[in-house]
Amino acid sequence: MPFISKILKKERLSGFLERLVRDRQVFAPVKKGEVILIREIDSPSQVILEYRNAKESPKSVFFPQRETLFRYRAEKGKAEVDVPSGAGKGRVLFGIRPCDARGLLLLDKVFGGGSSDPYYTDKRSSMVVVSLGCVDPNPSCFCLSMGGGPCSAEGSDLLLLDLGDRYIAQAESEKGVALLEDQAFEKSDEKSLSLAEKTRKQAEASMQPVAKKANLEQELERLFSDPVWKDLAESCLSCGICTYLCPTCHCFDLCDEASGQAGERIRVWDSCQFPLFTQQASGFNPRPTVKERFRQRIMHKLSYLPKSQSMTGCVGCGRCVTECPVNLDIREVMVSLSEGNER
């Protein structure tokens, strides 16, 4: 993939978005009340780009909280089953952060791969991802420590970086190159390229590294029965916010909602943090307390997923840290478990 970058002057952004909205569905950060969320837009004026990060991750664009898998209707002894049709025109996910784009790669492995999930892959394959690099990361961000970075292009088709009066746009795929054909983009120059590099280095330098051991994911298996988990998890409320807002969490439940002789099977988000997540029909629950559930989440993200999918389950977006009502901090957990290596 040859390195192609162009310049997008800020005053031209609106025109670019107008043309995108005309031909495709565009999803971008918008303000809903006090909160920034990723939603479909119909006008560039709705887009907010001066923002830290959206409350919810963009996973809900591909893996919504509620998805109809099929509908059925039974009449006179016959049943009709009807699967919703796929995404129509092309789609663009605009202005998300690099951590979230990287998170999509993990979801691609889970929902793609051998037995792929058509509901996800259909939405994903028609989507072009345009991310906006972070010039000024939050104190709660730690993407760099998780193998990503504030200006990482992993998972993006096009990466934009704010250089003040203009963006520099770097294409990472054929889809990204195609977007750069738009009239809003002009040739880039050495000055912009070196400013971009400087910006990236500054952003990375501003981040506090997490003091975890390099081989933590190997060590975690050994630490499964360590008593430290009880202390780490004690204040957890099992509320599920961490999993719902996480860009890589993907557990779900299937429910049938019937109304007489018609109904639909839907998929809804579930959470390993919910107390009844592992409740068995016998009444036994292998994860009866917060300790087991909290440990499960950490192990899944930092140990099981890296083993099975060769990729970290945590992209360091920091949402679970800022939104946890009791300020449970996965970074502190990693540090604590790393120190535990000496135990």
211, 335 in Cβ contact below 8 A?
A: yes
Using CB under 8 A as the binding rule, whether residue 255 contacts other proteins is answered as yes
Scanning 144-152, 168-176, 266-274, 302-310 for contacts with other proteins by CB under 8 A, the matching segment is 266-274
How far apart, in whole angstroms, are the C-alpha atoms of residue 18 and residue 161?
A: 20
Name residues whose C-beta falls within 8 Å of residue 276's C-beta, 6 or more positions apart in sequence: 285
Interacting residue with other proteins among 138, 206, 278, 336 (CB under 8 A): 138
Stretch that binds other proteins, among 146-154, 186-194, 253-261, 297-305 (CB under 8 A): 253-261
Q: Examine residue 178 and tell whether it contacts other proteins (CB under 8 A).
A: no
Determine the straight-line distance between the first and last CA of the chain, rounded to whole angstroms.
Answer: 47
**SS3 letters for 241-263?**
HHHHHCCCCCCEEEEEEEECCEE
Residues within window 81-120 making contact with other proteins, judged by CB under 8 A: 87-88
One character per residue 30-59, x = contact with other proteins (rule: CB under 8 A): --xxxx-x-xx---------x----xx---
Q: Are 128 and 158 in contact (CB under 8 A)?
A: yes
Give least dist CB 256 to other proteins, A.
9
CA distances (Å), origin 181, targets 74, 296, 305: 50, 46, 38
Length of the chain: 343
Tell me how far, at minimum, the Cβ of 186 lies from other proteins, in Å.
29
The CA-based dihedral angle spanning residues 173, 179, 183, 187, taken in that order and rounded to the nearest 10 degrees:
-20
> With binding defined as CB under 8 A, does residue 67 bind other proteins?
yes
Question: In the bound complex, what is the minimum distance in angstroms from residue 145's beta carbon to other proteins?
Answer: 14
Q: How far is the CB of 189 from other proteins (least distance, A)?
A: 29
The correct pick among 18, 251, 332, 336 for binding other proteins (CB under 8 A) is: 332
Q: How many C-beta atoms lie closer than 10 Å to residue 100's C-beta?
A: 26
Structure letter (DSSP) for residue 164 = S
Considering only residues 4, 24, 49, 64, which one is a binding residue for other proteins as defined by CB under 8 A? 64
Binding positions for other proteins, rule: CB under 8 A: 25, 27, 32-35, 37, 39-40, 50, 55-56, 60-61, 64-68, 71, 87-88, 123, 138-140, 231, 234-235, 237-241, 244-245, 253, 255, 257-259, 262-264, 266, 268-269, 271, 274-276, 321-323, 325-329, 331-332
